[in-house]
Amino acid sequence: MLGAKEGETKPIPSQENSPARAVTQEWTSQDAWAVYQLPFNDLLFRSQSVHREHFDPNRVQLSRLLNIKTGGCPEDCGYCSQSSHHSTAVAASKLMEVEKIVAEARKAKESGATRYCMGAAWRNPKPRDMDAIVEIVGAVKQLGLETCMTLGMLDRGQADRLSAAGLDYYNHNIDTSERYYPSVISTRTFADRLDTLSHVHEAGMKVCCGGILGMGESEQDRVDMLVTLSNLPKAPESVPINMLIPIAGTPMAKAPPIGPIEFVRIVALARIMMPASFVRLSAGRSAMTDEMQALCFFAGANSIFVGDTLLTAGNPQDEADRKLFRRLGLEAL
């Protein structure tokens, strides 16, 4: 085994961490790293076994994402095209009208999506924005869609209002490990991220939280990001795993890409560490081969974004996804 001395057998991390037990397991960085370093076939066998304990392995959740307010964000996230700190081609816009959002949500449902995610390029919602946001949540829910929003940081009062409006999920990614975080963002702290997640959880909404791979972080940073997520008071119900889309004009435009095997390893580890969560292939699928996506599904990913645009970046066309699903024998959840 890797890391074992000659003639010595290094034990595989205990299989006593069965899926049911793993839901409440507290992970250490050392334990997670040991699982991450398993031989690839062993890692995928374990993650697929965990996946089958909690989900139908041949069904994938389809979500659609709409940018309801684009650009002009005061945060300096090094990967983001919507930051006002970067010279990109994205112009700032006002919050989209409710009627247009509902029309887009209706089209998403007709195309097979069951979850509708809405993002606004804000540091945090202003008091003047909340009435409109609450109206949007109610209107989209009336269509029978599961709702999710990502609006930046929230205080507890804002979280309570969104929960009372019926918002199902709130997305707020931690992006990377606490150690590497200052290399990505300087305008808000890692603790700020965790505070918002706490407000969302305490308000009774489900948490959608993951990160981005390929920003120059180490493999240990990727593992430690998952350790942080899995050790929250409750693991996020939804864990998006993004592959960086390099965007001209951002500080990370020339970041070295993550290798496919390393990406799949993180998907598998996320499934093992958070067995009851949806693990979503998010940004970056347009750069993945069908074979890489197939490995991710086998590793435990069971949610994708459909539609040709994710916020301001490209995404596979619906027909490409339908063709891939047919090839793999997958069905929409």
Average pLDDT, the chain: 87
Asked if 274 and 236 count as a contact pair (C-beta separation under 8 A), the reply is: yes
Report the candidate in 234, 176, 328, 93 with the shortest Cα–Cα distance to residue 304: 328
What predicted TM-score, i.e. pTM, was given to this entire model?
Answer: 0.87
pLDDT band with cut points at 50, 70 and 90 for residue 315: low
Q: What is the DSSP string of 18-42?
A: -HHHHTTPPPPHHHHHHHHTS-HHH
Active site residues: 73, 77, 80, 117, 148, 208, 280
Asked if pLDDT for residue 14 goes beyond 50, the answer is no
Report the candidate in 52, 51, 91 with the shortest Cα–Cα distance to residue 300: 51
Residues 186-197 have pLDDT tens digits of: 999 999 999 999
Q: What is the DSSP string of 158-191?
A: HHHHHHHHT--EEE---BS-TTTGGGT-SSS-HH
Distance CA 186, CA 189 (A): 7
Distance CA 6, CA 27 (A): 29
Residues 208-266 have pLDDT tens digits of: 999 999 999 999 999 999 999 999 999 999 999 999 988 888 888 888 999 999 999 99
Which of 23-27, 54-58, 165-169, 298-302 shows the lowest mean pLDDT across its residues? Answer: 23-27
Which of 39-48, 89-98, 129-138, 269-278 shows the lowest mean pLDDT across its residues? Answer: 89-98
Residues 104-127 have pLDDT tens digits of: 999 888 888 888 999 888 888 988
Tell me phi and psi for residue 122, to 5 degrees. -125, 155
Mean pLDDT across 92-99: 83
Report the candidate in 90, 81, 119, 129 with the shortest Cα–Cα distance to residue 252: 81
Mean pLDDT across 85-99: 75
Cβ of 170: how many Cβ atoms within 10 Å?
27
Count Cβ atoms within 10 A of the Cβ of residue 328 and give its class: 0-12 exposed, 13-18 middle, 19 or more buried. Answer: middle
In angstroms, the Cα distances linking 242 to 79, 175, 184 are 11, 9, 15
The token pair at 116 is 């509708």
Phi-psi sector, 16: left (phi>0), alpha (psi -120 to 50), beta: alpha
Residues 52-72 have pLDDT tens digits of: 999 999 999 998 888 888 766
